[in-house]
A and B are shown apart, each in its own frame.
Chain A
Amino acid sequence: MKSTEEKGEDGRSATQLRPLSCTRSVLNRAHGSASFSQGETKILAAVYGPKAGTKKNENPEKACIEVIWKPKSGQIGKAEKEYEMILKRTLQNICILNVHPNTTTTIIIQVVNDDGSLLPCAINAACSALVDAGIPLKYLAVAISFCLAEDEYCVLDPNKLEEQCLEQGRAAIKLLSDFLRRKLWSKVQSDVSVAG
């Protein structure tokens, strides 16, 4: 059980994040790509688009966003489909969908290494890849996960070990408002280089 002063196994206190790093334009053929890592968790996101045509059930007056989640190993199952759905809804909220109607933007997420906090890392990687590709966005999406332990004690950015130990509380993913975006800004800004 940790108090706010005690450090965890990797020397982090409860409110300290793991080291973040982000690289853009990693892939040659993708229209936009980014590699985002939080500690040991690393995710590669590639964006293709906008390309002409939407799928059958989608609204042709808006742009369509398609997410493909590729796990590190194993077959694609229900967990991957759930991640795809969560990511698609998140990204639909930040993209401006009426700039290019009747087009499809495909985002492919490849898990390179999983050490906890997978979905927030994927959201961050996908957002960086969208910025790299030049897809019009309303604002940037930032995500972080935290674990709630028994006595409402909160641990930020858990790694896999912490996620499994704190099973009673559930890791929740929260989309942050501009306030916390500014706090993380100084950590990410030195690594993220901007187009243009």
Chain B
Amino acid sequence: MESKPSNSPSSLVDQHVFPGDVVLDLSKMTNQTIKLGSSLRQDGDAISAMKAGKLRFAKPNKYWVESSHKRYVPCAGDTVLGIVVDSKADYFLVDIKAPTLAFLPVLAFEGGTRRNIPKFEMGTLLYARVVMANTGMNPELACMDATGKAAEFGPLKDGYMFESTTGLSRMLLKSPPCPLLETLGKKLAFEIAVGLNGRVWVNASSPSIIILVANSIMKSESLSPVQQKIMVDNLLQRVQ
């Protein structure tokens, strides 16, 4: 017995869905190619959700469920912050809050050859890009972009790293920038690296600025854009 069969393709878009909800009924749509994104699976003629979240649709034919969790599901092309756990002969083992550890090949750096292999200690924080993420295999990372340039990837020195949810990372990486970062950036000087796996790194000249930025980001997850701006204004007024 199916629950809530949707009559038209767009009846559940931008609504909350639960695991098991049938979001699309393929028997009613003919001759269409649909791309299914994260957390949607095909069960015969019905497309059902695997996680709880908001169903999203992008033209022309992409559907996915957007949700925010503390763990990360690796996806090729994402930029993440990883922590080195171990180093082997050919690769480093990096923890990216995914179900399995990720491999970072020793040569995946700009101008990397067998002669200048970087040495990372356990616990080094890296900003890397996910090159490949297939089910059943460990994801692979690289510290260079698709063309082979370094492009700010690599180890992050100093600063402070904290963990939060994947939804917060997506909000911080939105363009145009979220009001939180804009308002903070007008008064304070800091640099920030956001990993899509829910890790954020902040660095500034003095520890009090780092703490201020980190706390305001951690508090802002459930606030709307207007509330974020008000909260940051209040915080900055108290400091200065």
Interface residues of A (CB under 8 A from B): 31-32, 49-52, 96, 98-103, 131-140, 177-179, 181-182, 194-196
A177 to B3, CA, bound (A): 10
- CB-based contact A32/B99 at 8 Å: no
Q: Would you call the interface of chain A mostly helix, strand, loop, or mixed? A: loop
A131 neighbours in B (Cβ, 8 Å) = 18-19, 51-52
Give the residue of A52, A135, A196 whose beta carbon is less than 8 angstroms from that of B66.
A196
Q: What B residues does A49 contact at CB under 8 A?
A: 71, 99
If the complex has contacts A101-B136, A131-B18, A137-B50, are A196 and B67 also in contact, measured as CB distance less than 8 A? yes
Q: Once bound together, how far apart are the Cα atoms of A32 and B100, in whole Å?
A: 18
A196 touches which one: B16, B41, B100, B101 (CB < 8 A)?
B16
The distance in angstroms between the C-alpha atoms of A133 and B99, with both chains bound, is: 12
B residues with a Cβ closer than 8 A to A are: 1-3, 16, 18-20, 39, 41, 48, 50-54, 65-71, 73, 99-101, 135-136, 167
Known contacts A178-B1, A182-B3: A100-B135 contact under CB 8 Å: yes
Tally of contacts, chain A with chain B, CB under 8 A: 89
Name the residue of chain B whose CB is nearest to the CB of A31.
B70
Least Cβ distance of B51 to chain A in Å?
5
In the complex, residue of chain B having the shortest beta-carbon distance to the beta carbon of A138: B20
Given A49-B99, A131-B51, A136-B51, check contact A194 B18 (CB 8 Å): yes
Q: Which residues of A contact B48 (CB under 8 A)?
A: 138-139
Query: In the complex, which residues of chain A have a beta carbon less than 8 angstroms from the beta carbon of B41?
Result: 96, 136
In the complex, which residues of chain B have a beta carbon less than 8 angstroms from the beta carbon of A135? 51
Query: Min CB distance, B224 to chain A, in Å?
Result: 15
What are the residues of chain A within 8 A of B167 when measuring CB–CB? Answer: 195-196
Q: When chains A and B are docked, how far (Å) is the Cα of A50 from the Cα of B100?
A: 8
Asked if B53 and A194 sit within 8 Å, CB to CB, the answer is yes
Residue in A99, A133, A137 whose beta carbon sits within 8 Å of that of B71 in the complex: A133
User: In angstroms, how far is the closest chain B Cβ from the Cβ of A107?
Assistant: 14
Complex CA–CA separation, A139 to B19 (angstroms): 5
Q: How far is the CB of B2 from chain A (nearest CB, A)?
A: 8
